[in-house]
């Protein structure tokens, strides 16, 4: 006998065997027990969550020779034939390849005849959203008032494309994506029955790669068994999936927490030489950062019964990185995956994504003083600084001038793009990179504006490199606010529900901050 793949061999044949869809099972079993049966059912959900399987179990429940039951016997002629796909009164139509009105009319013509073998005729239309508008219109009347012996079962991965006239005639059930823990539990049972050795981490990798689809999880498991020569180990499964070892993830997060840009760049280069997926790295980082954020929010150091062997390392990182940076890096990693495909070099894009945190990372007090000291060094001998936090003071002064409308156009740009380097004896020393902004007229207007605010000072503006300016601070602040807003929206329970249930996505670049 030829080998039967795991996804087919372990396809549920009763409601009790169906994994991860208890809400659907409960509703259908209660309806079958009380025989309060609807004439049309619509099952929605992503691929591999059990839509077709539920349809076949329902057909067996309606036609089992023991009677209408929520526990079909599985051994009578009707149950066996439905499982084998040869039951004359159960018809499956794939709307992806049979979407025209002619195919639907041929199906509906069978509705005029009573069941030949079973108690009910069951018409199952898979991927029903693919039907043409004409085909939908052709089936509306029969769908609304079918013969008492006819049941419609519709299935779709995209219910939003199904006309509301069809939706309103159906009893709708949304089959949820499987939780990784549910998939791991089921794979453990399946591999035990198959006498295949597997470690927990390999199963966790397969569960995450399946993205909520039990069928995909079983297909990947089949592939992993062949790849690992009959056994599953973490290293083998990582190699098959192209997943990144978590040690690289921990190294990168620790480097980012310490602001070590050189280590970030070197680690990315190492991953490039190993040929690992940049997208997989960002995905793994997102998972670790999410766990870190949970520990930070709940003030937990670790969970003792957590099956993840890296729980202590993740808990340690959660104490190393501030909570706001964790949220920012999480958002950067999520949106960075979309940026990878836009760059000509995937790993150059990855490096830029990770260095983005360092660009937004607030400098510590000591680091800020060191930066300021370096910037002021050329004029320090003759112009000793009395205030070590000039970017802050100059930003406040510039904002006051802008609010009072004392500076406009090029004068405003000179103020926004310059850096206050030192103050001494009534003289403020600014530095600006653009030579065109450093004109006599701009300097004169800016000095008059300062005097209007009560700053009786003389301005001296030199041309040179600028490390800190009002414009740069405002841009960095807006970027931080945008990243935080994106993270808040993405983590909102309503948004998470839409993503989880309907595979919804936030289109990058569509969010806007509102001015208060």
Out of 162-166, 322-326, 381-385, least confident range:
381-385
pLDDT in tens, 57-90: 999 999 999 999 999 998 999 999 999 889 999 9
- Is-contact 351 265, C-beta < 8 A? yes
What phi and psi values does residue 8 have, to the nearest 5 degrees? Answer: -90, -40
- Is-contact 124 91, C-beta < 8 A? yes
Q: Is the pLDDT of residue 3 over 70?
A: yes
- More confident call, 208 vs 499: 208
Percent of the chain with pLDDT over 70: 91
Q: Is the pLDDT of residue 298 over 60?
A: yes
Helix-strand-coil split of the chain, %, nearest 5: 55, 10, 35
Q: Name the segment(s) of the chain with CATH classification 3.30.300.150.
A: 365-468
pLDDT in tens, 476-509: 888 788 788 778 787 787 877 777 777 777 776 6
Distances (CA, A) of 47 to 93, 203, 221: 17, 20, 17
- Strand ranges across the sheet with 458-463: 419-424, 427-432, 458-463
What distance, in Å, lies between the first and last C-alpha atoms of the chain? 71
Q: Is the pLDDT of residue 378 over 80?
A: no
Give the domain 365-468 fold.
GMP Synthetase; Chain A, domain 3 (3.30.300)
Out of 27-31, 193-197, 226-230, least confident range:
226-230
- Give the pLDDT band (50/70/90) at residue 124: very high
Q: Is the pLDDT of residue 371 over 60?
A: no
- Give the pLDDT band (50/70/90) at residue 387: very low
pLDDT in tens, 158-191: 998 999 999 999 999 999 888 888 999 999 999 9
- Is-contact 244 284, C-beta < 8 A? yes
Under the phi-then-psi rule, with left for phi > 0, alpha for psi from -120 to 50, and beta for the rest, what region is 35? left
Q: Name the segment(s) of the chain with CATH classification 3.40.50.300.
A: 6-174
- Per-residue pLDDT, averaged over 7-22, amounts to 90
Considering the domain 6-174, what is its CATH architecture?
A: 3-Layer(aba) Sandwich (3.40)
- Per-residue pLDDT, averaged over 127-139, amounts to 90
- Give the pLDDT band (50/70/90) at residue 51: very high
CA dihedral 403, 405, 411, 414 (to 10 degrees): 0
Q: Is the pLDDT of residue 133 over 60?
A: yes
Q: Is the pLDDT of residue 304 over 60?
A: no
- Give the pLDDT band (50/70/90) at residue 401: confident
- What's the confidence (pLDDT) of residue 362? 56
Q: Is the pLDDT of residue 369 over 50?
A: no
- What's the confidence (pLDDT) of residue 211? 85
Q: Is the pLDDT of residue 6 over 50?
A: yes
Distances (CA, A) of 504 to 57, 160, 203: 29, 11, 26
- More confident call, 365 vs 448: 448
- Give the pLDDT band (50/70/90) at residue 192: very high
- What's the confidence (pLDDT) of residue 386? 43
Percent of the chain with pLDDT over 90: 25
Q: 3-state secondary structure string, 8-42?
A: HHCCCCCHHHCCCCHHHHHHHHHHHHHCCCCCEEE
Contacts of 234 (CB under 8 A, 6+ apart): 199, 201, 202, 205
What pTM was estimated for this model as a whole? 0.62
- Is-contact 471 433, C-beta < 8 A? no
Q: Name the segment(s) of the chain with CATH classification 1.10.8.60.
A: 180-241
What phi and psi values does residue 155 have, to the nearest 5 degrees? Answer: -135, 140
Between CA 54 and CA 126 the distance in angstroms is: 12
The mean pLDDT value of the chain amounts to 84
- What's the confidence (pLDDT) of residue 374? 38
- What's the confidence (pLDDT) of residue 129? 92
CATH 1.10.8.60, applies to 180-241: yes
Q: Is the pLDDT of residue 46 over 80?
A: yes
- Give the pLDDT band (50/70/90) at residue 389: low
């Amino acid at each position: 006998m030829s080998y039967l793949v795991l996804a087919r061999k372990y396809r549920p044949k009763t409601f009790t065997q169906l994994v991860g869809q208890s809400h659907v099972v409960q509703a259908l079993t209660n309806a079958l027990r009380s025989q309060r049966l609807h004439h049309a059912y619509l099952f929605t959900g992503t691929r591999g969550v059990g839509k077709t399987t539920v349809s076949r179990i329902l057909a067996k429940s309606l036609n089992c020779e023991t009677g209408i039951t929520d526990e079909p016997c599985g051994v009578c002629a009707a149950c066996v034939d439905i499982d084998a796909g040869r039951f004359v009164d159960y018809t499956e139509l794939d709307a992806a390849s049979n979407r025209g009105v002619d195919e639907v009319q041929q199906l509906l013509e069978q509705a005029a005849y009573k069941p030949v073998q079973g108690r009910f005729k069951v018409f199952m239309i898979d991927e029903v959203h693919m039907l043409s508008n004409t085909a939908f219109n052709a089936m509306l009347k029969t769908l609304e008032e079918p013969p008492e012996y006819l049941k419609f079962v519709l299935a779709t991965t995209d219910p939003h494309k199904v006309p509301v006239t069809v939706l309103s005639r159906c009893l709708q059930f949304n089959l949820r994506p499987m939780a990784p823990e549910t998939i791991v539990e089921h794979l453990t049972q399946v591999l035990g029955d198959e006498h295949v050795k597997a470690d927990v981490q390999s199963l966790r990798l397969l569960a995450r790669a399946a993205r909520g689809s039990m069928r995909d999880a079983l297909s990947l498991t089949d592939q992993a068994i062949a790849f690992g020569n009959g056994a599953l180990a973490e290293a083998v499964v990582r190699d098959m999936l192209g997943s990144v070892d978590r040690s690289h993830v921990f190294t990168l997060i620790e480097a980012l927490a310490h602001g070590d840009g050189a280590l970030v760049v070197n680690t990315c280069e190492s991953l490039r030489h190993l040929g690992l997926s940049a997208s997989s790295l960002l995905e793994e980082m997102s998972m670790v950062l999410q766990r870190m954020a949970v520990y930070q929010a709940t003030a937990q150091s670790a969970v003792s019964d957590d099956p993840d062997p890296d729980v202590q390392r993740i808990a340690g990182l959660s104490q190393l990185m501030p909570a706001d940076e964790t949220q920012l890096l999480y958002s950067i990693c999520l949106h960075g995956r979309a940026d990878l495909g836009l760059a000509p070099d995937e790993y150059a894009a990855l490096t830029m994504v990770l260095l983005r945190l360092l660009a937004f990372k607030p400098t510590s007090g000591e680091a800020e003083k060191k930066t300021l000291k370096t910037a002021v060094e050329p004029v320090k001998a003759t112009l000793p600084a009395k205030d070590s936090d000039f970017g802050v003071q100059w930003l406040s002064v510039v904002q006051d001038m802008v609010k009072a409308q004392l500076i406009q156009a090029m004068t405003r740009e000179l103020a926004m793009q310059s850096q206050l380097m030192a103050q001494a004896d009534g003289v403020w020393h600014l530095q600006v990179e653009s030579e065109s902004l450093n004109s006599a007229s701009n300097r004169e207007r800016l000095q008059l504006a300062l005097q209007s605010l009560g700053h009786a000072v003389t301005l001296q503006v030199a041309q040179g490199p600028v490390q800190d300016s009002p414009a740069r601070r405002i841009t960095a602040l807006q970027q931080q606010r945008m990243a935080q807003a994106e993270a808040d929206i993405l983590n909102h329970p309503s948004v998470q529900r839409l993503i989880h249930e309907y595979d919804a996505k936030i289109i990058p670049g569509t969010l806007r901050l509102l001015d208060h």
